[in-house]
Amino acid sequence: MNNNTAIPSWYKTVAIIAVIWNIMGVIAFSGHVMMSPEAIATLPAAEQELYQNIPVWVTIAFAIAVFAGLLGSIALLLRKPLALPLLISSLVGIIIQDTYSFLFTNTIKIYGNSVLIMPSVVIVIAVFLIWLANKAKNNHWLDH
């Protein structure tokens, strides 16, 4: 990094918020994969079917989304160039998971249109973090 390159004061705060956001994603993933059969059995039948029929590749995409997002956010905080490819990988995982959930299942029919709100927020934040990582790279805020 060029020592004369000033890093904006807001950068570290945004990176910390990104790490916290992605920790929440890891917690959501953990809750999802650790949901016991007994807990699933308490859900309405249509929701049980959604949980029981998730392909392994969708769970892998979910894992990539949250863990690459967390590692990418940590890399942003530590000003490492690996942030950009990790955050791009996270967005790809999000898109794969959401494509399955909303195009190949009846998720919207079961939960209603409001189920689209959180995935939309997740995509917007993922795109923002990619933009930030790219800006940090172009402005030489990341160590090499």
In a domain, 143, yes or no: no
In a domain, 4, yes or no: no
Residue 142: pLDDT over 80: yes
Average pLDDT, the chain: 94
- Measured over all CA atoms, what is the biggest interatomic distance in the chain, rounded to whole angstroms? 61
Query: Residues 14-39: what's their mean pLDDT?
Result: 96
In a domain, 45, yes or no: yes
Residue 2: pLDDT over 80: no
> With pLDDT > 90 as the criterion, what percentage of the chain qualifies?
92
State which residues form the domain around 60: 9-138
Residue 1: pLDDT over 60: no
Q: Please tell me the distance from the alpha carbon of residue 2 to that of residue 141, in angstroms, as a whole number.
A: 8
Q: Are 65 and 97 in contact (CB under 8 A)?
A: yes
In a domain, 17, yes or no: yes
Q: What is the pLDDT of residue 66?
A: 98
* 3-class DSSP assignment, residue 55: coil
Helices (H), 44-116: 45-52, 56-77, 83-103, 107-111
Residue 3: pLDDT over 70: no
In a domain, 3, yes or no: no
Residue 144: pLDDT over 80: no
Per residue in 45-88, pLDDT tens? Answer: 999 999 889 999 999 999 999 999 999 999 999 999 999 999 99
In a domain, 2, yes or no: no
In a domain, 13, yes or no: yes
Query: Residues 87-96: what's their mean pLDDT?
Result: 98
Tally of structural domains, the chain: 1
In a domain, 46, yes or no: yes
pLDDT band for 143, please (50, 70, 90 cuts).
confident
Q: What is the pLDDT of residue 4?
A: 55
* DSSP label of 104: S
